[in-house]
Structure 1
Amino acid sequence: MPYVESYYSATANQQFDLPKLEGEQQADICIIGAGFTGLSAALHLAQMGYSVSVLEAEKVGWGASGRNGGQVAPGHNMDHDELIKKVGKPMADSLWDMSIESVNLVKELIAKHQIDCDLKAGILHVAAKARHEKHIKESIDYKRDVLGYDSVEYVTKPEVEAMLGTDRYFGGEYAKDAAHLHPLNYALGLAKAAIDAGANIYENSRVVDYKGGSNAFVKTDSGIIKAKYILLACNGYLGKLESKIAGKIMPINNFIIATEPLSEELCRKINRDDVAVADSKFVINYFKLSGDNRLLWGGGENYTTKFPSDIPNFVRKYMLEFYPDLADVKIDYGWGGTLAITLNRMPYFNRLEDNVFAAQGYSGHGVALATLGGKIMAQAVSGSAEKFDVFASVPTPTFPGGTLLRFPGLVAGMLYYSMRDRFF
């Protein structure tokens, strides 16, 4: 399939016409999925000298990797003190350090491979409710005092208003070392770097079966790859390929709109410092300015297999809650993507067999953590599995009822938290 129509696909700065897998091939490693995880793994493995083949059901970066909000932030969805309770302080500290590493890795790859993807600095996490401000302040203090991380600062409510041109927020956390980018162009840049390093990427090659262990193989409808190692990098598009890990994730849909290009004056009014913004609601709003001065606004979710019939109007109402003056601004693009969340909102890493690795469930932190996930899967294949094992040590509950009943349970839970966003 072609790319879903979006601002990102309309402004992709390179195109690939990669072959479909045909016949029998051999590789040291076969990677299923050409999103951030798979592309990063392919790049790092190829640079180590392995023969690598990547199988992508659609196009490079076709899924959530090419459609998301493009925020590159440190940290995890689970607070550090909660992680200590789950895995102990050494492991929790390592997870925090790797979240910092993930942001630096994205920046390093962009610089090293000269990836043109509108990389910009700074993310502002704002309190959508007055009662959320206390937690944001405590989080900043914890990062500074306990973790020794001083690249965050508290922003008062008046300063947030000056930065964003709205009085709807109640202070925030400014992450100076965080970043934001054009995710599809970043994915395409990773793909080019992987191909230049010697990796083979096959598009339109949906995997229908695979087998690990001895005589491992990965099969599509038109070909087969015999490999020593298999990496599952499917995330929200895993489907029924591997039942052992399908119940650990929930595919959910999130939606974004892109306005027409805005005047420089209006851009500076609603985003003075050209940062990316995310609020503290359970179903978050997030927004930023594109490289050509459009407002990209993400808001709203659904939990079915279908997207809303009118995505621009589905999302536009969230934008107008905060910026009613944009009522007359034209919406040029509206699109959705499917990501994968876990019950505890932490990434899920697992070694299913000696030669089969999986990484998925980034729960909204996928640009940075999926890039790192690919690298540490590559390291695990090469014999250095310490970082992979740290992520794998985090207990990841299976959704109640597994894949059969997870949707009704999730919908009920999401509706509850959506009501809290609105009324409490």
Structure 2
Amino acid sequence: MDKWQSPIAPGVSWYQATVGERPTYPALDESKTVDVAIVGGGYTGLQAAYNLARSGISTTLIEAYRLGDGASGRNGGQMGTGQRWWPEEFEKELGYERSKALFDMAEHAKRHLLDFADVHGIDMDYMPGQMNVAHKPGHEREYRANAEIAAERYAYPHISFMDARETAERLGTGDYHCGVRDTGTGHIHPLKLLIGLASVARSAGAQIHEMTKATAIRQSGGKIKVDTPSGTLTAGRVLIATNAYVGELEPVTSAHIMPIGSFIAATEPLDDFPTVIPGGEAVADSRFVVRYFRKSRDNRLLFGGREVYSSRDPKDTAQAIRQQIIATYPSLKNIAITHAWGGNVGITMPRQPFVREVMPGVTSIGGYSGHGVMLSNYCGKLYADMISGNATELDQLAALDVPAFPGGRHMRTPLLFLALTWFALRDRL
């Protein structure tokens, strides 16, 4: 069993514990010249690498740590329909045509991911169904409207409204007031997907290097240089696919994508608690600091949330998540937690993806804001389509108005901390 624990995120995840030894990829040990260099080995980078390589475009991907150490290998696994905003919210902001195009794009992303896994024989533990539920009364009208609008205006008939009784039955708790159930989507084992994706990308001819940190991206002689401690990549185009882990590598990306901590705990199998999510759907609630949970294929509860004050000690993470589990499911007060882990999610100010050419020939994609399982995979493919000269939906995301976080380099993190603390307090009150 792979005992590796990432230096960038606390805790050995249940995902990692269930995949055995992860395949390894060599560190970069020399300078290279390629058509496209990719910085970041998550879903976005690997999908781009695969699709570029299969098109005959020479591609090298570097990852600072191990593939899967970031959000792509440690996330909640939920495939929410549409974008992070509900389509009716986008419609008010952008109008129906653009809102419909963004919704359809997300459906294309869903279909792409499911087809990709099927074609390449990647068993990612797909389980159908997802529910969004209201943690406070007073949301019934908007939840009813969401189901009606999805069917009538967006040709998506898979969402149904749940009243308080049905919500309690389908979740196995009376902690929520109403919700919607989506039978057209589901949830996955994210690390199994990532391992399969990396293998497919390598087989297609992409060069993949772990434990290779990009230290600078610069223009030189009409080319782009990506410096690392062990060599320089020279390329005609560069994709920054680091999401929450850009650090100080590229200032425009770091000004627009902020990392926030997200933490998950896995319980022992719930064989004695058949009423907990009996249908096996994934669940996300209406809190600003979202609680998200689901059952795994082996019947464990995987429960996640963002804890502003959580330390990076996995024991503290487990205790913080345990309190949230008990608040939702008091009957699980004595259930054992077997794994607890965390990491960073990349968010933007409007919770919309960030797609931008940050310098000539250098494109940055990220900021999926907790909605990236489908979108990150699809954005990687769309980037490759763009480089290959094919029509692409990526322009729809590039056209979104995603401003930088206020406060500049030194103040944006403290300001975000204060904002999250305020919203977490609002959730509790």
Q: TM-score, normalised by structure 2?
A: 0.94
Task: Decide which of 311, 333, 341 is 2:317's aligned counterpart.
Answer: 311
Question: CA-to-partner distance for each residue in 1:153-208, whole Å, 9 max, x for gaps?
Answer: 11222122222211111121111111101111111111011011111110000100
Counterpart of 2:408 in structure 1: which amino acid? G
Q: Give the equivalent residue in structure 2 for 1:361.
A: 367
Distance across 1 between alignment mates of 2:373 and 2:331: 31
1:10-409 alignment, distance < 5 Å: 10-13=17-20, 15-84=22-91, 86-212=93-219, 214-263=222-271, 265-266=272-273, 268-302=274-308, 306=312, 310-384=316-390, 386-409=392-415
Q: What stretches of structure 1 of length at least 5 have no aligned partner?
A: none
Task: Give SS of 1:131's match.
Answer: coil
Question: Distance in 2 between the 1:303 and 1:382 partners?
Answer: 45
Structure 2: give runs of 5+ residues left out of the alignment.
none
Offset of residue 352 of structure 1: 2.3
**What is the aligned-residue RMSD (CA, Å)?**
1.8
Query: Could you tell me how far 1:308 is from its partner in structure 2?
Result: 6.9
1:52 positional shift? 1.2
Please list the CA deviations of residues 381-419 of structure 1 after superposition, one character each: whole Å capped at 9, or x if unmatched: 112354121101000011111332112222222222212
Aligned twin of 1:7: 14
- Identity within the alignment, %: 36
Contact 1:308–1:314 (8 Å) recurs in 2? no
Is the CA contact (8 Å cut-off) linking 2:292 and 2:303 kept in structure 1?
Answer: yes
Q: 1:18 to 1:98 in 2, by over 3 A?
A: same
Number of matched residues?
Answer: 421
Listed one character per residue, the Cα deviations across residues 40-95 of structure 1 (whole Å, up to 9, x for unaligned) are: 11111112111111100001111111111000122122243443454444332211
**CA–CA distance in structure 2, aligned partners of residues 165 and 390 of structure 1:** 39
Question: 3-state SS of the aligned residue for 1:117?
Answer: coil
1:255–1:299: 8 Å Cα contact kept in structure 2? Answer: yes
SS of the aligned residue for 2:223 comes to coil
Judged with a 3 Å threshold, the aligned counterparts in structure 2 of structure 1 residues 401 and 306 are, in CA distance, closer, same or farther, namely farther
What secondary structure is seen at the aligned counterpart in 2 of 1:146? Answer: helix
| Residue type of the alignment partner of 2:32 | Q
Point out the more displaced range, 140-149 or 319-328. 140-149
**Which amino acid letter does the alignment assign opposite residue 148 of structure 1?**
A
Bigger mean CA offset, 326-335 vs 206-215: 206-215
Does the 8 A contact of 2:130 with 2:186 survive in 1? yes
